Amino acid sequence: MRRVVVTGMGAVTPIGNDVYSMWKAAKNGLCGIGEITHYDHTDHKVSLAAEVKDFDPNRYLDRSEVRRLDDFCIYALTAACEAMEDSKIDMKKEDPLRCGVIFSSGIGGMTSIQREDMRGMQKGYDRVNPHFIPMVISNMAAGHIAMKFGFNGICSCVVTACAGSGNAIGDSFRQIKFGFNDIMICGGAEASITPLGIGGFTSMNALSTSRDPLRASIPFDKERNGFVMGEGAGALILEEYEHAINRGAKIYCEIKGYGVSCDAHHVTAPLEDGSMAAVCMEKAMEEADVTCEDIDYINAHGTSTQLNDRCETRAVKRALKESACDVMMSSTKSLTGHLLGASGAVEAILTSLMVEHDTVIATANYKVKDEECDLDIVPNKARNTKVDIALSNSFGFGGHNVSLLFGKVR
C-alpha cells in the first residue's frame, strides 16, 4: 500500500483568507464570529455568524469568472489555487490522468438560490441568470477546480452534509493509497449565510441565539445552546509519498488512516451512546496501525450543540477507553463557527499544522464545566506540546461519521 502525504494547503475562513493568516489567528485564539452583515438580520432570532471578511475574489480569479460563480465556488477555487501554489506542483511534468479532484459542499449555491428566487418573483422566472443551474449544483466546485488545473483523473463531489469534506479527503487518500492517482486536490466549500440558510437551521433550533460573539460557539461548555454558521473553504493537496520526495516537495504530515460509519439512526440527531462515531475512530486507528495510547490529540467535531458535544465525548471514551482521559481534544469551531461542508477540510488543515508545529489550538471562550463533557478540551489557551498522532472528526446530518488520522512523517 502506498503512503499518502499532505504537500499543499489553501484556506478561506472567518479567521483568515489564507493558511498563514488562519493559523496565526487560531494560535492566538482569535474568534471569527460577529454580527451578520450579509443581510439585515433585524427581527431575526439569530444575529451572529462567522463570515469571511475582507475577501478579494480577484486574488486568483478574473472578474468574468467571478460573475459566473456562486460564492461557495469562488471560495473553493481560491483555496485550491493557494494549495496548488503552496505545493509547487508543475503540471507540465505531471500526467493529468493521474491527477484528480474530490471536493465537497453540503448545500451548494445557496447564495445564488436566494438571489435568483427573489429575481424570479420580481421579474418572472424566465429572467433568472442563465448561469443559475451551474452556479448552484454542488459538484461545480470540483468541476471548476479540475478545469482550472487540467486534472483529468477522477473528478467527484461528496455530499454527506457536514461530514462531506472529511469524506472528500478520505476518499482522495484511498485514491492514492490504492494506486489510482498520484495527486489529489480535495476539500470542501460552503457559503450559506443567507436569510434562507440561517432561517432553515433556526427553525430546527440548531443555531445559537446568543447576542454575545464570545458566548455563541462554545463547544463543551455547559451553557452551549447551538452552533454558529460559518462559511469559507479548505483545500489540501494529497500526494503519493515517493512522488512527493522525488520532486522535492515540502511535506506537512502523513495521512495514515480513514474511518467511516453511519449511525443509521435519525435524520439530524447522533446516536446517544456514540457507538458508531467510536467505530469510525477505531477504523481510522486500525488502518493506521496505531493504538489508543498513541493518540495525542483529537480535533473534535464539537459543534456547540448540547447533543453533539455530549455524544462525541461518549464516543471518544468508547474508542480510546482508558486513554481517553489523557488525550487532548479541542474544537476549532469555537473560533471559525461551523462551516458545514467545508468544516472537515478547514479542520484537517488546522490538524495537519498542529502535527507539524507541535501546537494544540484551544477551545476558545470556555467558562462553565459540563460534567458530561469531562475530557481535556484544552480550554482557552493553546499548548506547545508533542503532537505525533492526531484524529480529526466530522459528523453530518443523516448519520454520516468520518475520522481522519494524521501523523508526522517517519
Q: Average pLDDT by consecutive 10-residue portion of the chain (410 residues)?
A: 96 98 98 98 97 97 95 98 98 98 97 96 95 97 98 98 98 98 98 97 97 98 98 98 98 98 95 96 98 98 97 98 97 98 98 98 98 98 98 97 97
Overall pTM > 0.95: yes
Count of other CB atoms within 10 angstroms of residue 117: 14
Q: Which of 162, 186, 280, 311 is catalytic?
A: 162
CATH of domain 4-246: 3.40.47.10
Q: Which of 38, 144, 243, 338 is catalytic?
A: 338
Q: Which of 144, 243, 301, 400 is catalytic?
A: 301
Cα separation, 198 vs 205, whole angstroms = 11
| Per-residue confidence (pLDDT) for residue 99, from 0 to 100 | 98
Cα separation, 83 vs 73, whole angstroms = 15
CATH 3.40.47.10 location in the chain: 4-246, 257-396
CATH of 257-396, one of 3.40.50.300, 3.40.47.10, 3.40.1080.10, 3.10.50.40: 3.40.47.10
| Per-residue confidence (pLDDT) for residue 1, from 0 to 100 | 82
* Residue 234: closest CA among 385, 16, 3, 1: 16
* Residue 49: closest CA among 170, 219, 195, 181: 195
User: In Å, what is the CA distance from 65 to each residue of 61, 75, 148, 190, 397?
Assistant: 6, 12, 11, 18, 32
Phi, psi dihedrals of residue 385, rounded to the nearest 5°: -160, 160
Cα separation, 298 vs 307, whole angstroms = 18
Average pLDDT of the chain is 97
For residue 264, the one-letter residue type is: A
Q: Judge whether 301 counts as a catalytic residue.
A: yes
